[in-house]
A and B are shown apart, each in its own frame.
Chain A
Amino acid sequence: MLEGLFGGRNAARVMLFLENYGDGYATEIARTYDSALRPVQAQLDRFERAGLLVSRMRGRTRLYTWNPRGPLVPKLRELLAVALDLVPPEERERYYLQRRRPRARGKPL
Chain B
Amino acid sequence: MLVGGAAVSAHTANRYQSLDVDLATLADNGAIAAVMLDLGFKKTRRVWTHPRFVPTVDFVGGPPAVGSLTLVSFMSLRTRYGSVTVTTPTQSLMDRLAAFYHWNDRQSLEQAILIARHQKVDYAAIARWSEAEGMKDKHGAFRRTLAARKRSPSRRKA
Contact yes or no, A97 B107, CB < 8 A: yes
Residues of B contacting A104 in the complex (Cβ-Cβ under 8 angstroms):
46, 58
* A contact face: mostly helix, strand, loop, or mixed: loop
Contact yes or no, A89 B103, CB < 8 A: no
Contact yes or no, B47 A21, CB < 8 A: no
Complex Cα gap A89–B106 (Å): 13
Residues of B contacting A96 in the complex (Cβ-Cβ under 8 angstroms):
106
Q: How many A-B residue pairs have CB under 8 A?
A: 53
Say yes or no: is B9 at the interface (Cβ < 8 Å to chain A): no
Contact yes or no, A107 B58, CB < 8 A: yes
Contact yes or no, A81 B104, CB < 8 A: no
User: For window 50-109 of chain A, which residues contact chain B by CB distance below 8 Å?
Assistant: 81, 85-86, 89-90, 93, 96-102, 104-108
Residue of B nearest to A103 (CB): B20
Contact pick for B106, options A20, A102, A106, CB 8 Å: A20
* Interface residue tally on B, bucketed by range: 20 to 34
Residues of A contacting B107 in the complex (Cβ-Cβ under 8 angstroms):
97-101
Contact yes or no, B154 A22, CB < 8 A: no
Contact yes or no, B106 A100, CB < 8 A: yes
Complex Cα gap A20–B107 (Å): 11
Question: B22 to nearest A CB, angstroms?
Answer: 9
Say yes or no: is B141 at the interface (Cβ < 8 Å to chain A): yes
Residue numbers of B with Cβ under 8 A of A are 19-20, 45-47, 56, 58, 99, 103-108, 110, 141, 144-145, 148, 154, 156, 158
Residue numbers of A with Cβ under 8 A of B are 20-23, 81, 85-86, 89-90, 93, 96-102, 104-108
The 8 closest A-B pairs by CB, nearest first: A106-B45, A106-B46, A101-B105, A101-B99, A22-B104, A100-B105, A85-B148, A89-B156
